[in-house]
């Protein structure tokens, strides 16, 4: 009789793929069968999706075939869409595939775009939650840029009166990233400056990147202004039309204004992926599944949840795991260790999950990076190198199932902190690189950077 336990992982994104690789590395196939399920046949680096939107990455550079990642492992992969989990029966219902039974289940299905009840945004705006979304934006933006030359004679005079505004709703990390990338695409295009597309960000908040340190915000604003991106704050989108956005003008109660938009990109917030679970488990208002300090659902000890779909909720109601890639990865590495300890050594997890990654870098287009390394704000080449290094660490981790040297440097322990401090010091002392370095209180980093609520309205002002 085969007593092998079956663990099923739903989602092969940052959390799911990391967990599968690390578990396979730790647990022998005679003890456990690992099944990984994803709608796609590839692991997607969605943190590069805005660069796909700007035409600076090709889709195949941001997608790694899962078959390549699992070729020397015991992981069984099923490509299918998850329809439902029947928790009382330990069963998963898949689209066009047989149902799967499990002993242990890990849900890592990520997040989806939040529309705040604005249905017209679903119809007329584009979202940015995948590489495919990035490609759709790129194709539309390209069309817009090429239109600027249509209908004009050889002297550049023509009858094309269409406004070529690209408006990004939402000033969180995704919004500023795609704005920077599209502005770079615009500058790199062959059209003359008078014909180029105008990129604008509108945000309901009083600043971009609410919750980030002001030094980071100021630098992001400076970089975006240099790229000719307009920033309109305290402005709430109320309706998206085919060629415009209607917003509430907070200066006058009940009054509305409209700005033309040939391409609207919707990034003001995300919510947990809407997985149907029967019976239901506790979710936050934002649709994220509530888990305990061990990444386990409160209702089912054999169901775990990782990444953007999960919410670690303190008794005060505060959610302590923001929807970020490095948090998803840390949770996966933690859970792989906990499960392996339990199965191999029969040790129940005693240590609670704690994120120990000390690097967070924003990309603002082709060459502009800014962020936080070990409580220090970095920009320019240091930030770009740190971002590339972080991605390498992830790729090594999902290929080998090990915490590699690169990944260790990102851990928040004394040795890693020393290494990253040396790294920053060496670079900042270099006279040939134009970097900026500030010390910074890491507690001030945004805890939920994609939640740029569109429900507030506090007037309009153009940021200096
Ligand atoms: C443009 C962009 C830039 C970002 N930049 C950064 C950054 O610089 N730093 C940072 O820390 N974070 C960043 N993030 C956030 C980060 O990417 C997420 O926090 C991270 O991807 C979460 O990992 P996850 O495993 O929970 O979900 P995901 O990586 O989204 O994986 C979810 C997986 O589930 C699969 N799936 C979903 N539904 C189904 C279904 N029904 N059936 C089968 N499979 C399904 C998907 O195909 C996907 O593979 C960015 C996000 C975006 C969109």
- 374 pLDDT tier (thresholds 50, 70, 90): confident
Is 45 a pocket residue for ligand 1 (Cβ < 6 Å)?
Answer: no
Say what the pLDDT of residue 100 is.
98
Contact assessment for residue 191 and residue 208, using Cβ atoms and an 8 Å cutoff: no
Picking from 81, 101, 106, 79, the residue whose alpha carbon sits closest to that of residue 91 is 101
Residue extents of the structural domains in the chain: 119-268+451-462
Rounded distance, CA 184 to CA 32, Å? 48
Nearest to 110 by CA among 51, 39, 181, 179: 39
**Mean pLDDT over the full length of the chain:** 84
Instruction: Decide if pLDDT at 242 tops 60.
Output: yes
Let me know the angle formed at the C-alpha of 218 by 212 and 220, rounded to the nearest 5 degrees: 80
pLDDT tens track for 270-315: 999 999 999 999 999 999 999 999 999 999 999 999 999 999 998 8
* Cα separations in angstroms, 301 against 159, 252, 295, 305, 320: 66, 52, 10, 11, 20
Contact 329 CB / ligand 1 (< 6 Å): no
Give the separation between CA 287 and CA 272, rounded to whole angstroms. Answer: 5
Q: What is the CA radius of gyration of the chain?
A: 23
- For helices 325-345 and 380-400, the axis angle rounded to 10 degrees is 30
ipTM: 0.99
pLDDT classification of 460: cutoffs 50, 70, 90: very low
Where are the strands (E) in 170-209, listed by range? 198-202
Q: Distance of alpha carbon 237 from its chain centroid, rounded?
A: 22
At 343, the pLDDT band (50, 70, 90 cuts) reads: confident
CA pair distance 384, 366, nearest whole angstrom: 10
| Spatial separation of the C-alpha atoms in residues 305 and 9, rounded to whole Å | 9
> By C-alpha distance, which of 385, 381, 360 is closest to 444?
360
Q: How confident is the model at residue 407 (pLDDT cuts 50, 70, 90)?
A: low
Q: Where are the beta strands (DSSP E) in 267-420?
A: 270-272, 277-278, 289-291, 303-305, 310-312, 359-363, 369-373, 376-379
Give the pLDDT of residue 427.
52
d(CA 106, CA 305): 5
**pLDDT grade for 453, boundaries at 50, 70 and 90:** very low
In angstroms, the CA 85 to CA 94 distance is: 9
At residue 122, does pLDDT exceed 90? yes
The finding on whether 365 has its CB within 6 A of some atom of ligand 1 is no
Burial class (CB in 10 A: 0-12, 13-18, 19+), 304: buried
Structural fold of domain 119-268+451-462: FAD/NAD(P)-binding domain (3.50.50)
Reported as a pLDDT band with limits 50, 70 and 90, residue 422 is low
Q: From ligand 1's centre to the CA of 109, what distance in Å?
A: 8
CA-nearest residue for atom 4, ligand 1, is 47
User: What are the φ/ψ torsions at residue 408 (nearest 5 degrees)?
Assistant: -65, -35
Q: Is the CB of 47 under 6 A from ligand 1?
A: yes
Closest among 272, 267, 274 to 312, alpha carbons compared = 272
* 9 CA distance to ligand 1 middle (Å): 15
DSSP letter at 333 equals H
* Ligand 1: residue whose CA is nearest its atom 16: 325
Ligand 1 probe mutation, 96, 168, 312, 324, most atoms within 8 A of CB: 324
Name which of 183-187, 203-207, 389-393 the model is least confident about.
Answer: 389-393
Q: Using a 6 Å cutoff on CB, does residue 369 contact ligand 1?
A: no
- Rounded to an integer, what distance in angstroms lies between the CA atom of residue 457 and that of residue 16? 38
Nearest-CA residue for atom 31 of ligand 1? 13
Q: How many helical (H) and strand (E) elements, i.e. helices and strands, does the chain have? A: 11, 28
């Amino acid at each position: 009789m085969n007593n092998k336990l079956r663990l099923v992982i739903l989602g092969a994104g940052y959390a799911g793929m990391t967990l599968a690789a690390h578990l396979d590395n730790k647990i022998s196939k005679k003890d456990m069968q690992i099944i990984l399920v994803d709608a796609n046949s590839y692991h997607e680096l969605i943190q590069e999706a805005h660069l796909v939107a700007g035409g600076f990455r090709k889709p195949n550079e941001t997608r790694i075939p899962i078959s390549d990642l699992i070729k020397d492992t015991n992981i069984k992969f099923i490509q299918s869409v998850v329809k439902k989990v029947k928790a009382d029966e330990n069963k998963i219902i898949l689209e066009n595939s047989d149902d799967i039974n499990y002993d242990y289940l890990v849900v890592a299905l990520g997040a989806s775009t939040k529309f705040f009840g604005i249905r017209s945004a679903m119809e007329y705006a584009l979202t940015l939650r995948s590489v495919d979304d990035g490609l759709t934006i790129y194709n539309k933006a390209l069309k817009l840029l090429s239109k600027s030359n249509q209908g004009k004679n050889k002297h550049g005079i023509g009858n094309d009166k269409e406004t070529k505004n690209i408006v990004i709703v939402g000033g969180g990390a995704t919004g500023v990233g795609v704005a920077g990338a599209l502005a770079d695409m615009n500058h790199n295009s062959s059209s003359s400056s008078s014909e180029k597309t105008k990129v604008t960000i509108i945000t309901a908040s009083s600043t971009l990147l609410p919750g980030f340190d002001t030094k980071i915000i100021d630098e992001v604003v400076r970089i975006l202004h240099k790229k000719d991106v307009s920033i309109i704050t305290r402005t709430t989108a109320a309706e998206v039309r085919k060629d415009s956005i209607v917003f509430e003008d907070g200066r006058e109660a009940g009054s509305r204004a409209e700005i033309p938009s040939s391409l609207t990109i919707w990034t003001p917030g995300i919510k947990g992926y809407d997985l149907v679970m029967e019976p239901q488990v506790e979710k936050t208002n934002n649709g994220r599944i509530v888990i305990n300090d061990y990444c386990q659902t409160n209702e089912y000890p054999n169901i775990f949840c990782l990444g953007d779909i999960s919410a670690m909720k303190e008794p005060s109601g505060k959610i302590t795991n923001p929807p970020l890639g490095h948090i998803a990865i840390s949770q996966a590495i933690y859970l792989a260790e906990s499960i392996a300890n339990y199965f191999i050594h029969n040790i129940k997890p005693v240590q609670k999950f704690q994120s120990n990654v000390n690097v967070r870098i924003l990309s603002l287009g082709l060459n502009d990076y800014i962020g936080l390394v070990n409580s220090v704000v970095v920009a320019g080449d240091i930030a770009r190198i740190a971002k590339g290094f972080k991605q390498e660490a992830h790729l090594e981790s999902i290929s080998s199932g090990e915490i590699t040297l690169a990944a260790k440097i990102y851990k928040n322990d004394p040795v890693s902190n020393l290494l990253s401090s040396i790294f920053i010091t060496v670079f900042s002392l270099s006279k040939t690189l134009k970097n900026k370095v500030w010390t910074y209180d890491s507690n001030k980093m945004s805890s939920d950077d994609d939640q740029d609520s569109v429900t507030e309205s506090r007037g309009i002002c153009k940021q200096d």
